[in-house]
Amino acid sequence: MESVLPLKDSVEGRPNYYTYRIDLNYIGSEFSGWQSQPSGKTVQDALEKALFVALRKKIRVVGASRTDTGVHAEHQVASFRIDETIDCPRVFRSLQALVPPSIGILGLTPIATDFHPIKSAHAKLYRYRIWLGPGTNAFIRPYAWTIPYELDFAAMKCASAFFVGRHNFRSFAAVDGSSLTFDRTILDLKWIEKGNGLIEMYILGEGFLKQMVRNIVGTLVEVGQGKRKPADVLSIIAADDRRSAGMTAPALGLSLVEIYYAPCPRIAACYENDDPCFSFVYPLPVV
């Protein structure tokens, strides 16, 4: 485990600070995204309110991924600094009781002061779920985009290959995003047939632009509909224009699955269907 070291402030006379990591998950449909807003209906706001009650201090939390409104997180990582050590087991129990039911607190641990949820991350893994066909499933519907017809799955898989690598993804970025640079690296992108009409896209990358994953999914669905050819992805990337790409997929199908803080050369999962195990074989860079 990483040592816990006080962070000495550059201004003489100020107290040392200690850094703590929070692991959590949440149902995104209950919130207006991760990042704090005046409305207060965000995950960050809910977490900071709970910390204020538990610690009697105003705490600012930094999250690894600023998920958009309606986007879920199966594993989100956040951190905060405070000028004293805390009783982690006690505060952990307090947070579990204080946050809304749609947030799950998975862990609270001290961590090295140079840890940063975003800057220390090597990669992020997202999953997008689509439910195909005329039927519905009450347990899946809140977490998947329902499309009442079949898609050309083979064409979508073919088009997906063009996203892997380092590209300018401005065509897939939200027009109201705040990013000044648009080059991002996608380490791998895989589609999995789960059976009974459920398909999933896993995308692993070093970082993502606002709505980038959802815009990629929307474009790939248009390929599956026959509105675009797989190779059109190349011209869309080259266009450097959001208007050239496809629709934005609904937020409810997207989940942040994992944040990786150490090199992870292989991530594999097996499914009980005709598809073989999928694996992410691109080695993550060592920072």
Question: Per-residue DSSP letters for 133-187?
Answer: SS---TTTGGGSEEESS---HHHHHHHHGGGSEEEE-GGGS-TT---S--EEEEE
Q: Where in the chain is the domain with CATH 3.30.70.660?
A: 123-280
Which residue among 9, 45, 68, 232 is the active-site one? Answer: 68
pTM above 0.75, yes or no: yes
Buried b vs exposed e over 234-257: b needs ≥16 C-beta within 10 Å? eebbeeeebebbbebbbbbbbbbb
Distances (CA, A) of 109 to 23, 34, 48, 124: 9, 21, 16, 21
- Contacting residues for 138 by C-beta, under 8 A, at least 6 apart: none
Beta-bridge partner residues of 191? 201
Asked about 68 being catalytic, the answer comes back as: yes
Position of tokens 């919130």?
A: 31
| CATH class name, domain 18-111 | alpha beta
Q: With respect to CATH, is domain 123-280 assigned 3.30.70.660?
A: yes
The CATH 3.30.70.580 domain(s) of the chain lie at 18-111
pLDDT tens for the chain, residues 1 to 287: 444 444 444 445 555 899 999 999 999 999 999 999 888 799 999 999 999 999 999 999 999 999 999 999 999 999 999 999 999 999 999 999 999 999 999 999 999 999 999 999 999 999 999 999 777 778 888 999 999 999 999 999 999 999 999 999 999 999 887 788 999 999 999 999 988 889 999 999 999 999 999 999 999 999 999 999 999 999 999 999 999 999 999 999 999 999 999 875 444 443 333 333 333 333 333 32
Residue of 185, 269, 262 whose CA lies nearest to 279: 269
